[in-house]
Amino acid sequence: MLFSTTTRCIGQRNQLDHFFAFLEKVTLSGFHRVHLALGELTELITKDFDSASFAKRFRSYGLSVNAVHAPMFYPFLFHETNGEAWQEVMLRSMKVAADCGASDFVMHLGTVVDGELRYQPEASAARNIAYLKPYLEQAEQLGLRIDIENGTNQPCDDEDARPLKNVSPGIEELITVTDTINRAFGKEVCGICFDCGHANLAGLDIPAEIKKIGSRLKVVHIHDNDGSFDQHLLPFEGNIPWPAVIAALKEIGFGGELALELYYENGELKEDPVAYLNHTYRVLKERLND
């Protein structure tokens, strides 16, 4: 398994020096790969942002990057927002990803619901395919693949699904969107990023969903929770059945990245960042790499 850690700012967000301070700590730990989280720098990624200089500074740390997470924008309910105000930020972020040498760009999708907030999967899939169009076009030019991620409040796909205020597309919709896009392009330009913590909150059978996604799976976000809220705990600190998750990944022949997505806001990290990063890496290597 390939393990990476998501990137955070040590201290205030939207500060480049704070962002690179975290990378410096990573270079001293067991991790050699990072999952760049550009949501930490959203306010900086404007028309004046120097992508080439950022990438040059990133490469100076000698870390590998396969996937970059887009700025943390959730279009969610399309009747409330369609993300147009974010489009330029997202497109510039894709350029950053390509300049840093990434192959994959992780994004969240929106959801179409009716007047009673009931999930409309067919309409939602069609809207998301249209929503992704400008990003897919740029991704093709930059040599990136877009990986669409499941959210925390995933709706049911049956007729009796209860209304949810913060719904996110079901796995079946992610599969539909991915397959439809790849058929249209005649090649694989879209994949799925499966977030284990989000799936646990949605009450999903995680191993079964991984098997359902199959070869579409390109990136896995690993973090844990007890099912009550999105805690982003270290694996084995919540109730996700990690041995079964790893078995499912092996069954589908997954050879991609397991990206540890912790918030890194606890006291342990602040007191001794390198020791804490080493601890998290050992947990992954010793308990998930059997």
Q: Per the domain annotation, does 289 fall within a domain?
A: no
CATH number at residue 152: 3.20.20.150
Residue 103: which domain range?
Answer: 2-272
DSSP 49: -
Q: Can you tell me the mean pLDDT for 186-214?
A: 96
Q: Per the domain annotation, does 279 fall within a domain?
A: no
Greatest CA separation for the chain: 53
Q: Per the domain annotation, does 284 fall within a domain?
A: no
Q: Per the domain annotation, does 280 fall within a domain?
A: no
Indicate whether 163 pLDDT > 90: no
Q: Per the domain annotation, does 54 fall within a domain?
A: yes
CA 171 to chain centroid:
14
Q: Per the domain annotation, does 129 fall within a domain?
A: yes
Q: Per the domain annotation, does 86 fall within a domain?
A: yes
Residues 107-162 pLDDT 10s: 999 888 877 777 888 999 999 999 999 999 999 999 999 999 998 876 554 445 45
Q: Per the domain annotation, does 103 fall within a domain?
A: yes
pTM for the model stands at 0.94
Domain count, the chain: 1
> Within a 10 A sphere around the Cβ of 18, how many other Cβ atoms?
16
